[in-house]
Amino acid sequence: MKKFLSGFTFLCCLLMTANSSAKQVSYLEEVYGLGSVAGQGLACRAAKYDQYELLARAIMIGKARDAAEQKEAILQYNTGKVEAFMAIEDENFASCDEIIDEFNRQKIFKSTLYSDGKIKLYDGTMITPRKTYNAAKLYQKDPDAFTKADAAYKKYVAEAEKNGKTAKKIPLYDSNYNKYANQPD
């Protein structure tokens, strides 16, 4: 539990300092990290989860150089999200109180998302997408997101146990996935 929580804290620090550190993380590493934090917020039912999803997705789309990179980023984001969700469910949600506290205090919530898809980060950095889009349509709140993720997790764990294997990855794509997965340049 502490190992995962310290990983969460490290990940948050890494993401929040990525813009100013001398050793930059790659775009795909950053997106994977954003997804991991989203998975933790979803698993722990953080109050600011939906706001985080909107901002994280805007960052992901805004930083993509082209459609192919964006598509790969979406896969990385969802992989991070799934793996984090599974890790928290594996530990029976034991660290959620601490995670929610960290999650809700992230600097990302001090960012401003504009209607055309531009996002001004907490540090003043402006991210402009390669193509404008309606930011209001980027993410639609799904009140059943946790229930769907939990059901998918349990299904794949049961299938893995039935086959004598360990479930390593579940295909968790929310209802918003296709809205931005195949955007042309």
Edge-first strand listing for the sheet containing 119-120: 112-113, 119-120, 126-127
pLDDT given at position 13: 44
Is there a contact between 88 and 4 (Cβ–Cβ < 8 Å)?
Answer: yes
Bridge-partner residues for 127, per DSSP?
119
Q: Domain residues of the chain, as ranges?
A: 2-180
pLDDT given at position 20: 45
Is there a contact between 109 and 52 (Cβ–Cβ < 8 Å)?
Answer: yes
CA atoms within 13 A on the CB side of 129: 26
Q: What is the largest CA-CA distance in the chain?
A: 51
pLDDT given at position 161: 74
What's the whole-model pTM score? 0.75
Which amino acid type is present at position 44? Answer: C
From first to last of its 185 residues, the chain has per-residue pLDDT tens of: 444 444 554 455 445 444 444 478 899 999 999 999 999 999 999 999 999 999 999 999 999 999 999 999 999 998 899 889 989 988 999 999 999 999 999 999 999 999 999 999 999 999 999 999 988 888 888 888 888 888 877 877 777 777 776 555 544 444 444 444 444 44
pLDDT given at position 165: 63
